[in-house]
Amino acid sequence: MCNPAGALSGVVVADFSRVLAGPYMTMLLADLGADVIKVERPGSGDDTRAWGPPFVDGEATYFLGVNRNKRSVALDLTDERDRATARAIVARADVLVENFRPGTMERHGLGYEQLRAEHPELVYCSVTGFGAGEGARLPGYDLLVQAMGGLMSVTGEPGGPGTKAGVALVDVITGLHAGLGVLAALRHRERTGAGQRVEVSLLTSLLSALTNQAAAYVGAGVVPSALGNRHPSITPYEVFDAADRPLVLAVGNDRQFTALCACLGRPGLAADARFATNAARVAHREELTAALSDALASRTADAWFEELTAAGVPCGPINDLDAAFTLAEKLGLPARVDLDDPRRPAPAGQVANPIALAATPAAYRTAPPRLGEDTEAVLAELGLTGTGERRERR
Catalytic residues: 171
Residues 6+ apart with CB under 8 A from 343: 367, 370
Give the DSSP letter string of 213-230.
Answer: HHHHHHHH-------TT-
Single-letter amino acid, residue 16: F
Q: With beta carbons less than 8 A apart as the criterion, state whether 37 and 372 touch.
A: no
Going by DSSP bridges, is the β-strand pair 123-128/35-40 parallel, antiparallel, or unpaired? unpaired
Q: Could you tell me which residues come within 8 angstroms of residue 385 by beta carbon, excluding any fewer than 6 positions away? A: none
The strand pairing partners of 337, in sequence order, are: 350
- Tell me the pairing of strands 35-40 and 70-74: parallel
Helices then strands, counting H and E runs in the chain, come out as: 17, 13
Cβ-proximal residues to 21 (8 Å cutoff; 6+ apart), any chain:
99, 127, 171, 172, 174, 175, 178, 202
| HSE-CB of 322 using CA atoms within 13 angstroms | 0
- Distance, in Å, from the CA atom of 112 to the CA atom of 195, rounded to the nearest integer, reads 11
Taking CA atoms, 212 is separated from 17, 82, 179, 217, 252, in Å, by 31, 47, 23, 9, 15
